[in-house]
């Protein structure tokens, strides 16, 4: 079987990559991050002109009607550019929630506005993956109470998609009574993450499907984070190879030394298989839903481990310069670290994969 990107998908990848290279070079990323924001207004506006807010929104609701594989192509380009642009939660997970669990009226109300960029969602489903003491959201009488941690794409969000303890999804306005948003600082300055505290906050519930939509959202998020990590690792490998071809020691470029050659080759050999794994996970999400959760776990856990190896090794190839802000490698290093842990680190996700395959018992 010849599994690869279509011509249209290749054009999408080239368009997003070219745009980000023009509008979001490292100096711009540094300027945005040091300014205390995780959102580049100019990059976000330019990507919106390509229709990315409506990428997975059905055409009937004003979107492009594309699949998760198309979204992973965009996510890979964003990771390669370490672009400070909200995408995973806002442009993919939120509309997928409405597609999976929204009523016809809710889809008609929200999806066209998402596709037009009129509504910006943050998504909080972390408690469905793992829960810290004191976190969790309860629903009673159409209102939510509790704490949702690690809400993704919360900066500039005017609505939130929140999962309660039973896994049911709810839409909450950022201006709702009893809601408090606290920005959380993570290692990755190019992503916005927050904590939502809710006190009898009015919410609009989606279908009560036993948590199926929330699990599907988490699978999509994991695949996109894996794609983002893949793109970031691609960029780190390219920078390491370029540096090894320029830096001289003892009268020779360091890329001529066998040890450095092996380091670069091993990074490429470990990272390249992640591409087909991520692509298949995205394909399965759309075409083989019975496999979606499991292969999402595989993609997330494996790219998390490989990404960490690439980040460390690429930094080592640069020597002491790799740790300086001048080169900016730390932006990719931290992005990979963020992708590795959000929505479950490799250990958590592998345990979930084992449960899905019946290898360990499901907790009562």
Q: Would the pTM of this model clear 0.85, i.e. be above it?
A: yes
pLDDT per residue over 263-277, tens digit each? 999 999 999 999 999
Superfamily of domain 212-356: Butyryl-CoA Dehydrogenase, subunit A, domain 3 (1.20.140.10)
Share of the chain above pLDDT 90, in %: 89
pLDDT per residue over 3-35, tens digit each? 788 999 999 999 999 999 999 999 999 999 999
Q: What are the structure tokens assigned to 92, written together? A: 């993919």
Q: Is the pLDDT of residue 56 over 70?
A: yes
Of 117-126, 192-201, 321-330, which range is least confident? Answer: 321-330
pLDDT per residue over 97-106, tens digit each? 999 999 999 9
pLDDT of residue 338: 97
Q: Which residues contact 130 (CB under 8 A, 6 or more apart)?
A: 344, 348
Strands (DSSP E) contained in 141-202 are: 143-152, 159-163, 169-173, 179-184, 193-202
**Rounded CA gap, 294 and 8, in Å?**
28
Confidence class for position 40, pLDDT limits 50, 70, 90: very high
Domains of the chain, residue spans: 7-115, 121-205, 212-356
Q: Is the pLDDT of residue 1 over 70?
A: no
Q: Is the pLDDT of residue 352 over 80?
A: yes
Please say whether the beta carbons of 137 and 163 come within 8 A: yes
Return the biggest CA–CA distance within the chain. 74
**Rounded CA gap, 122 and 217, in Å?**
13
Q: Which residues contact 322 (CB under 8 A, 6 or more apart)?
A: 314, 315, 316, 329
The correct CATH number of 121-205 out of 3.40.50.2000, 2.40.110.10, 2.60.420.10, 3.40.220.10 is 2.40.110.10
As its CATH architecture, domain 7-115 has: Orthogonal Bundle (1.10)
Q: Is the pLDDT of residue 287 over 90?
A: yes
Residue 85: φ, ψ to 5°: -135, 125
Q: Is the pLDDT of residue 2 over 70?
A: no
């Amino acid at each position: 079987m010849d599994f690869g990107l279509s011509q249209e998908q290749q054009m999408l990848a080239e368009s997003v990559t070219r745009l980000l290279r023009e509008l979001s070079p490292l100096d711009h990323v540094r300027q945005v991050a040091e300014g205390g924001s995780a959102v580049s207004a100019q990059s976000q506006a330019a990507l919106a002109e390509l229709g990315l807010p409506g990428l997975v929104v059905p055409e009937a609701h004003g979107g492009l009607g594309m699949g998760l594989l198309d979204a992973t192509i965009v996510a890979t380009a964003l990771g390669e550019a370490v672009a400070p642009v909200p995408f995973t939660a806002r442009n993919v997970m939120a509309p997928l929630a409405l597609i999976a669990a929204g009523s016809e009226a809710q889809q008609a109300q929200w999806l066209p506005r998402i596709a037009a960029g009129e509504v910006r969602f943050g998504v909080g489903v972390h408690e469905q993956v793992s829960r810290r003491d004191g976190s969790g959201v309860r629903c009673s009488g159409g209102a939510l109470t509790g704490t949702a941690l690690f809400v993704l794409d919360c900066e500039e969000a005017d609505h939130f998609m929140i999962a309660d303890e039973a896994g049911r999804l709810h839409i909450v306005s950022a201006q709702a009574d009893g809601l408090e948003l606290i920005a959380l600082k993570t290692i990755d300055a190019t992503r916005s993450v927050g904590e939502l505290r809710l006190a009898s906050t009015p919410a609009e519930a989606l279908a009560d499907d036993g948590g199926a939509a929330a699990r599907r959202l988490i699978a999509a998020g994991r695949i996109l984070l894996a794609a983002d990590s893949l793109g970031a690792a691609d960029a780190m490998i390219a920078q390491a190879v370029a540096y090894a071809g320029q830096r001289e020691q003892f009268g020779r470029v360091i890329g001529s030394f066998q040890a450095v050659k092996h380091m670069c080759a091993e990074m490429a050999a470990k990272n390249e298989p992640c591409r087909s794994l991520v692509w298949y996970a995205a394909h399965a999400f759309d075409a083989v839903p019975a496999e979606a959760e499991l292969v999402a776990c595989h993609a997330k856990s494996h790219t998390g481990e490989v990404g960490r190896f690439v980040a460390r090794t690429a930094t080592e190839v640069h020597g002491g310069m790799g740790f300086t802000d001048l080169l900016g490698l730390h932006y990719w290093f931290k992005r990979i670290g963020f992708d590795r842990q959000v929505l479950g680190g490799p250990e958590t996700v592998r345990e979930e994969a084992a449960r899905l395959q019946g290898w360990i018992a499901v907790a009562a």
